[in-house]
Every structure is written in C-alpha cells, then in structure tokens.
Structure 1
C-alpha cells in the first residue's frame, strides 16, 4: 500500500487531502491541500489553503493522540502480536485517515 496523504472528510461530506509535492526550485517538498470538486482533486489556494492546512494538521495530531491512547490501553499481549509493517525504502512516511475531523475548526 502507498498512502497518498491524509484524507479528511467533514460532517457535510466535503473531502480534503493533505499531501506533499516537490517544491519547485528546491530539493524539498511542501504540504498542499486539495479538495474534491465534481470527482476531481483541485488545489485549495490563498488564505483558505493556510486555514485548511492548519486544520488538517490538527486533525492528524488528534488522530495520533487517539491512536496512542488506544495503544497505551491495549492488552500487552495484543500489542506484541501485531505484525510489523515494512517501511518504504525512501524513508518517507505518509499518513492516511479517512474520517478525521478537527474539533472546533472547519475548512470551508
């Protein structure tokens, strides 16, 4: 499996994807936000991109905190039986979370 980014779906059904793309003119990458419009992913631009990017990063952090709570409360026997996931050879990790929502923040 290859994750394309972090997918967040709002209660109203609107979908946002936080992903990376090469930063033109440099060797690095940058975070971008796209939204699904008529079945196509379109970039969110301007001030709205900054607001959405911050909300999506917040949703990701909420998910990681919840994941840590689950892992910390899990039966130690169950945790030791989990099969390790092979890391991509590039060393880059992406996260995907299909139904995350940031409490108290909205991308519109």
Structure 2
C-alpha cells in the first residue's frame, strides 16, 4: 500500500473500535492515549486521521475528553509519532467543505508540537 491512514478517533462504534465497558468521555480519553501509542508503535500507520478528535462528541463531551488528557500525555503521543515519521492529516478526513475551515485553527498545535506543516 502507498499509505495507511488510521482513523484513530472513531470511538462511536461500541464493541468494534472501543470495548463495551468504556463509556464516559474521561474513560474514552484514557483509552485514546493508550491506543494512539499502540497504533504508532506498530510502525504501520503513515497517517492518523483527526487524532484525539472523537466522532460524534458534543461540546461538553469534548471538554471532558480533553480535560482528561494531560499535556504530558499529548506531548508523549505526538513526540512518539513524530519520532517515527508519522504524518498528521488535519482536515483530510472532513466530510464537508465547511469543516475544512478548522484547518486554520491547527497551526498553533503544529507549531507547539514542533511538527512540519505541509500543504
């Protein structure tokens, strides 16, 4: 394959992409950190779609999710992925043109983590 793009945050598929017992945004956040590291360590992924941006979460669920992940966990995840050459595709998994506007919000994250932004 030319590339393997992993949609890491499809946590709405209970029993398939997330175990049945993990339900709260906080539990999902901890599971996300664990599985992100596992995916990166396989060395199979050449890209991760919408990392740490769970599908179908409302605003309150997103707030709890992000509050549950420490800065240290985020830095460990993204530094690990950067170290092995994983690419982050901001906006590449959008399902509508209107949602591409979110790409404009990402340069801060990219700069903070020391990633290279390629158009």
Query: Considering the TM-score relative to the shorter chain, is it more than 0.5?
Result: no
Structure 2 length-normalised TM = 0.25
Structure 1 length-normalised TM = 0.26
> Which of structures 1 and 2 has the bigger CA Rg?
1
- Where is the helix percentage greater, Structure 1 or Structure 2? 2
